[in-house]
Structures are given as structure tokens and as C-alpha cells.
A and B are shown apart, each in its own frame.
Chain A
Amino acid sequence: GDSVTQMEGPVTLSEEAFLTINCTYTATGYPSLFWYVQYPGEGLQLLLKATKADDKGSNKGFEATYRKETTSFHLEKGSVQVSDSAVYFCAENSGAGSYQLTFGKGTKLSVIP
């Protein structure tokens, strides 16, 4: 079946550092791609999404570009803050009549002052 692979964590960065969390997917065709974030003690929140090739999703300073040629959807932020400390999940929905999301394992980010 389809799968999503994210870079292993945990990732520890200093405040204002540049963040990249890699994500690749295996679904064929044109899946929809998502990043979800889980803050400590909370549920999954949609961070951003992209539904077609070359789309860029963005929210709260985070960006990710749907790259069909490399089957990737890497998450980036130019300057992280302590409040960005959370677990980040990449997910895809393959479409074709299916509504289920397939998630990556999650990457824990810790930002230190």
C-alpha cells in the first residue's frame, strides 16, 4: 500500500534557525499532501496542504512545495520559534475514491532559546 516517509527525529534547533523536515510519498497519480502538527497534549492540527503538483502550501511561516518529480513535500521554515516545538506529521490522501490519510511516523521538533 501507499506509504509516507519522514526524516527521523528528534530534531533540536536553536531559535531563529532554519528548519527542513523531509517527506516523501509512494502513492502514484496525484495524491493530496498535508502537514499536520501536534502540540504537547493536543490533537492533530492541519498546518498546510497542497493538492496538485507545484502547489505551495503555507501557514504560520511554514511552507511546503508539492514536487511530483521527486515525490516529495518537504516542510520548511526560515526562522523557528520556541512555540514551534511540536511533532510534525506528513500525510497523503491518494484520492481515487479513498478518504483515508496515510501518515508518516512524525518528527519531533524541539526549539531551544
Chain B
Amino acid sequence: EPEVTQTPSHQVTQMGQEVILRCVPISNHLYFYWYRQILGQKVEFLVSFYNNEISEKSEIFDDQFSVERPDGSNFTLKIRSTKLEDSAMYFCASSGLGRVNQPQHFGDGTRLSIL
């Protein structure tokens, strides 16, 4: 069964550094998402992306965050100047074209640790 893959599985970065989290969505999917889960808290929506642009974003997704689909397969989340509170598990997801209730398929996540 096709799956969403994320790299790296664990990223350790110094505060203030830029970090790029990478995702390869399921190949025929057209909607892409990033979520995060701070340890012990809820999974929170960050952003959705469709047709090469952001379709929706949450309050968390401020100017330090950006997303990009640099080629036909990758979908990236960039955090420009990381803060301690950015430490979390980041999940990428994708879904197919169709009605809005198409299920989202998640990757295994990238654990981001900011020192």
C-alpha cells in the first residue's frame, strides 16, 4: 500500500538555525498538509497546500514557517529561525482529489528537537 514518507526521523538543531523537514506524499494525491504534536499535547493543524499554493493555515503557521513543493514528489516545511517551543513531532499528510472528507494519510513523523 502506498504511504507517506518523511525524512529525517529525528532532527536536532540549535535555536536560531533554519531547518527543513521533508515529505514525499502518496504519488496520486493532490492535497498536502503539515501537523505538529508537542509532547503530551494534541495534534495541531499547521497548513494545507493545493495546486502549488497554501489553501489554509492556522495561527501557529506564522512568518517563520513556509512550505514548498520544489518538484513533483517532495513537499517541505521550512522553519526559518527555530525557537525552543518549536520542539515537537511534525507530521506530513496527503489526501486525494475529491470531496473534502477524503481521509488524510500520515507519515511516521519527524521529531524536531531544538537545543
- A residues touching B (Cβ–Cβ < 8 Å)? 32, 34, 36, 41-46, 49, 51, 89, 91, 93, 95, 97-106
Which B residues have a C-beta under 8 Å from some C-beta of A? 4, 6, 31, 33, 35, 41-45, 48, 50, 55-56, 58, 91, 93, 95, 100-101, 103-109
Report how far A44 CA is from B6 CA in the complex, Å. 13
Let me know if B107 and A43 touch, CB within 8 A. Answer: yes
Q: Which residues of B contact A45 (CB under 8 A)?
A: 106
Most chain B CB within 10 A, of A44, A98, A104, is at A44
- Whether A99 contacts B55 in the complex (CB less than 8 A), given A43-B91, A49-B103, A106-B42, comes out as yes
Can you list 22 residue pairs at the A/B interface with Cβ under 8 Å? Answer: A41-B108, A43-B4, A43-B91, A43-B107, A44-B43, A44-B93, A45-B106, A46-B103, A46-B105, A49-B103, A91-B43, A98-B100, A99-B48, A99-B50, A99-B55, A99-B56, A100-B56, A100-B58, A101-B45, A105-B41, A105-B42, A106-B43
Beta-carbon contact of B42 and A103 below 8 Å: yes
